[in-house]
Structure 1
């Protein structure tokens, strides 16, 4: 009985916490994010409008169309894919926001490939404009 009361109190305390998600503040703007390739830290930048995302990374420019599913989720589709992997649509989800300065996001392939695990990655985007 004691364990049940302790568990109930714990559930009540943690259920009161709500993550801030003001996704509309991040639908458009200019953002930076950090990522790692082969153990090397890099910084990417992207400019997003309501329907377009222009990505700048490693001296390259890549554009994708943006299709919003709801206020916090959207699909990125490469406009001019050069490889088969660039043809895969990406599902992006804003998990939490920090005022109007940054947001935590998760991304994964929009469609699961047969016989391959669906891997989700997380990152943080910082507003620069």
Structure 2
């Protein structure tokens, strides 16, 4: 009886898969929201296959984009002005919908990750 129950449970749980159509978000115009310590930070950005231009707090920043696979990329700031900007950022798309994607990001090599959501414009 237990075996039947476990098989039924396994078959139901295997039907649910997280949607990840990451290629839909490789290029385009977006805005994102990241919440850190109950504060929401927003930015606007436009991405091509190898460049992302972002506006945050009225400041424009550009980064080279290198795709690791369809759902993960590395950002390298062009013309960094501080030590923090010299660090590359790893971003992974976790889930997608028809107009958003949820992502996590961190500096390359660091374990602390932040999560956010990006909206297609």
What range is the shorter-chain TM-score in? 0.7 to 0.9
Q: TM-score, normalised by structure 1?
A: 0.83
Runs of 4+ in 1 over 4 A off after TM superposition: 4-8
Question: Partner residue of 1:115?
Answer: none
What are the superposed Cα offsets for residues 43-98 of structure 1, whole Å, 9 maximum, x if unpaired?
21111000001111111111100001111111001111111111111111111110
Kept in 1: contact 2:33–2:40 (CA 8 A): yes
Question: Partner residue of 1:107?
Answer: 105
Gaps of 5+ in 1: 113-117
Question: Partner residue of 1:75?
Answer: 74
Kept in 2: contact 1:64–1:79 (CA 8 A): yes
Kept in 2: contact 1:106–1:122 (CA 8 A): yes
Question: Partner residue of 1:124?
Answer: 117
Q: TM-score, normalised by structure 2?
A: 0.88
Asked if residue 45 in structure 1 is aligned to residue 38 in structure 2, the reply is no
Gaps of 5+ in 2: none
